[in-house]
Amino acid sequence: MTADGERPAAPSSGPPDPREAPIQRACEAGELHQAATLAIQGYGPELMGFLVVVLRDPGDAGEVFSDLCVRMWKSLASFRWESSLRTWVYVLARRACHAHRRERASHRDHHVPLSQVPEIDALIVRMRTTSLAQLEKKGTTRADRIRAKLTPDEQMLLTLRLDRELDWRAIARVLSDAEALADVDVTREAAGLRKRFERIKEKLRKLAALEP
């Protein structure tokens, strides 16, 4: 479908996300500012943590978070609710990370767009600042130092599975470059990701043995 609006996933198994229903009701009522506010408040902290892990730089993560929130705000109207909202926001997060890397590789300056809604802009800044402060307060553990030695793509997979506890089909859709995947493709991609995840865990065990 559209690049940001649809269709990253089919409904995932598991209990419904309680954050999703009020956002969907706001969208169906045409209250997109309210829907964006609820989405940023509900998913912002975990998305900020994901970006810090994957991008390995709080400043870069803050930039991409602002961009991601604006993308989310602009795309909610075209989201078709054929997937879980949480899967969809991680699709947007992955794309935002890749766009940031491309811009860095081409030495282009990244300018965070404005939502043109002062209330949304203020919320984005507040969520970014609060989330970064909480992450800084948490500090860095031995496990964090070991995981930091993984590649960004390995970090992404590990974070989605271990920290965010997404199911394998959802992860397959988040990490896919395709706009949409047929069920058979999702099943095949999920199986491949499970095997890759086991290899990453083995790599972590070897890195842990070398870590003082």
The mean pLDDT of 137-146, rounded to a whole number, is: 88
Same domain, yes or no: 163 and 192 = yes
User: What pLDDT, on the 0 to 100 scale, is given for residue 3?
Assistant: 39
**What is the secondary structure of 119-184 as a DSSP string?**
HHHHHHHHHHHHHHHHHHHH---HHHHHHTTS-HHHHHHHIIIIIS---HHHHHHHH-SSS---HH
Same domain, yes or no: 23 and 69 = yes
The domain boundary, picked from 79, 114, 139, lies at: 139
Question: Quick one: DSSP state of residue 9?
Answer: -
170-184 pLDDT, tens per residue? 999 999 877 777 788
61-88 pLDDT, tens per residue? 999 999 999 999 999 999 999 889 999 9
In a domain, 78, yes or no: yes
Same domain, yes or no: 34 and 89 = yes
Same domain, yes or no: 127 and 151 = no
Number of domains, the chain: 2
| Domain membership of residue 125 as a residue range | 18-139
Asked whether the predicted pLDDT for residue 12 surpasses 60, the reply is: no
Same domain, yes or no: 80 and 156 = no
Same domain, yes or no: 167 and 128 = no
